[in-house]
Amino acid sequence: MRNLLLLLLGLWINSGYSQTEVNQTSVTDYSFNSEFLKNKPATIKGQIINSTATELSKIQLFYILVLPSARYQEKKFIKVNNAGIFNITLANALPNQQIFLRIGNYYQAIYVNKNLTIKVDFLKVQKKSVPADAVKFDGPDVDLINFMSSANLFNDHIKSRILEKMSDLKISDSQYLAKIEALLYEFKEFQKAFKKQSYSKYHLLLENEFLSEYYANLLNHFLYTDRKPGREIWDKIKSHKVYLTSNSGMAFLNSLYKFAKYSNHLIKLADKETTLSEARQLEKIFGHPYADVLKIQMVNDDPVEFKNMIKDILPTIKSPWCKIVIQQEYDTLANRLNKVNDIVKQIKGVDSDKVIGTAIGELPIGAKLSVIKSMNSGDFLTKLKTLYANKVIVLDFWATWCGGCIQDMPAGIALKKKANDLPIEFIYICTSSGSTMDKWKNKIIEMKISGTHIFVDEKLVTELMTLFGKSAFPSYIVFNKAGKIIPGAIKFMGTTTIQDLQKYCE
């Protein structure tokens, strides 16, 4: 009898564990539509303690929200009242939505589904080494946050080291598949050990997060090397469910879409003449509702093209939540573009002899340097347009630590030289986040980047990039001679020609 009870208990525990895992909902499931429409978006309520009103006005508090669209992320600063209270309400009820929270020197990835309360000790988050109890969470999402945090810390951050090694792999490496397979084995060994220490219903999410990263890297390798994935791995990739609205989950969906669009081993979507035919091909390859989720990746930052695209693809979408997100993306883009154009129209004259910000000198290589510590986006754009009236303006947002920026910079320098005889002004805007003025100057000298350089406070950089609908470095914004923004004019400097810029000078 005792053995029978133990057997039944074991079956109950195992069934509870698997049942909890099976109940996770993916954005690619039909059932997610009802959850999206039924559930309320998550809310985060917070309070900062042990601080004065003056300290509250100076604290750096923002979050980066992972999005299900091609924009990936959206960065927003958080307003705190005099009592130290702040509130965040997300736009949609997405599963396990990842948020990167920055409060003072505290930076943490959290996941939300329902509600979360945060208590922040101001004195502790100002310390160079922030103690573990500086920020305390409460609410129904706490268990997931604690689990993911524990997984990252387990065995001296071994999970993070595995992901770093995966990121460091060169996709052109002839041994790429063997090396990435070895990293998958390392992760499985890590997960076995972690499960023994920490029994949780969230292990499925941990594995799903890693597999999203793993498959995204595989797809990038197959696309770059023009290799055809084997049937077994392709079937696994096509059937992979995304359980987290996270960097890894969204990177997988974006990589899957790009592979379907550009690979020579599928019907090439890029060869199709219309977005409608592209949408139909996605349906043939993946079926509904998976194709609907991938259609969200079709959005671009040109509002005219975007509007025309909506007319074509919205009727093909059977998943209501996908229609809602695509419409939201368009509304956000259109509103931001209108805001920028309104600011430009309201420009008032200023002293054109002055630089933007505070001048700090000119380097021998012809780099004019200035710094901005406090300015809003409206004043910046006003000064920009006044100083460079009747010129095409190219804004290059970069960071000293950004590998992609450094990689694309030589092409930008070459393009700038070709534009010497044209009414085009290149403005290099470097964020102060994660850098110093000395590092900034050294990088300019090292790469011999002549022209106008501005070292900009992170708050203004975020405000400008949010205004332009950008979320990552490098990002490029182009204004024509009339002062109107040209959406999507430059994706990368390396793929932009002087002829592309000449047409904006007319």
Helix H or strand E encompassing 12: helix 2-22
pLDDT, position 351: 43
Listed in sequence order, the residues at least 6 apart from 418 whose beta carbon sits closer than 8 Å to its beta carbon are 498
pLDDT band at 355 (very low <50, low <70, confident <90, very high): confident
Q: What is the mean pLDDT of residues 26-55?
A: 92
pLDDT, position 283: 92
Taking 80 as the threshold, does the pLDDT of residue 218 lie above it? yes
Using only C-alpha atoms, the chain has a radius of gyration, in whole angstroms, of 25
Token reading at 291: 């194709």
Q: Are 162 and 188 in contact (CB under 8 A)?
A: no
How far is Cα 324 from Cα 301, in angstroms, rounded to an integer? 17
> 66-70, 304-308, 392-396, 416-420 — which is least confidently predicted?
304-308
pLDDT, position 31: 92
How far is Cα 226 from Cα 205, in angstroms, rounded to an integer? 31
Helix H or strand E encompassing 137: strand 135-138
Listed in sequence order, the residues at least 6 apart from 52 whose beta carbon sits closer than 8 Å to its beta carbon are none
Chain-centre distance of CA 279, in angstroms? 24
Which amino acid is located at 404 in the chain?
A: G
Which amino acid is located at 249 in the chain?
A: G
How far is Cα 156 from Cα 256, in angstroms, rounded to an integer? 32
What is the number of other CB atoms lying within 10 angstroms of the CB of residue 367? 19
The pLDDT tens digits of the residues spanning 108-131 come to 999 999 899 999 999 999 898 999
The pLDDT tens digits of the residues spanning 201-210 come to 899 999 999 9
E strand residue ranges, 298-345: none
pLDDT, position 331: 87
Question: Comparing C-alpha atoms, which of 312, 224, 225, 318 is closest to residue 273?
Answer: 312
pLDDT, position 336: 75
pLDDT, position 268: 55
How far is Cα 13 from Cα 208, in angstroms, rounded to an integer? 22
pLDDT band at 333 (very low <50, low <70, confident <90, very high): confident
pLDDT band at 4 (very low <50, low <70, confident <90, very high): very low
pLDDT band at 354 (very low <50, low <70, confident <90, very high): low
Question: Comparing C-alpha atoms, which of 497, 452, 504, 503 is closest to residue 481?
Answer: 504
Q: What is the DSSP string of 427-444?
A: EEEEE-TT--HHHHHHHH
Query: Which of 48-57, 329-338, 340-349 has the largest mean confidence?
Result: 48-57
How far is Cα 374 from Cα 133, in angstroms, rounded to an integer? 32
How far is Cα 365 from Cα 189, in angstroms, rounded to an integer? 53
> 69-73, 345-349, 388-392, 402-406 — which is least confidently predicted?
345-349
Listed in sequence order, the residues at least 6 apart from 453 whose beta carbon sits closer than 8 Å to its beta carbon are 367, 368, 369, 370, 428, 430, 440, 444
Token reading at 367: 């780099």
Taking 80 as the threshold, does the pLDDT of residue 471 lie above it? no
Kindly compute the dihedral angle of the four CA atoms of residues 191, 195, 197, 200, in this order, to the nearest 10 degrees: 130
What is the number of other CB atoms lying within 10 angstroms of the CB of residue 414? 13
pLDDT band at 273 (very low <50, low <70, confident <90, very high): low
How far is Cα 236 from Cα 243, in angstroms, rounded to an integer? 15
pLDDT band at 11 (very low <50, low <70, confident <90, very high): very low
For tokens 């009242």, what's the residue?
A: 81
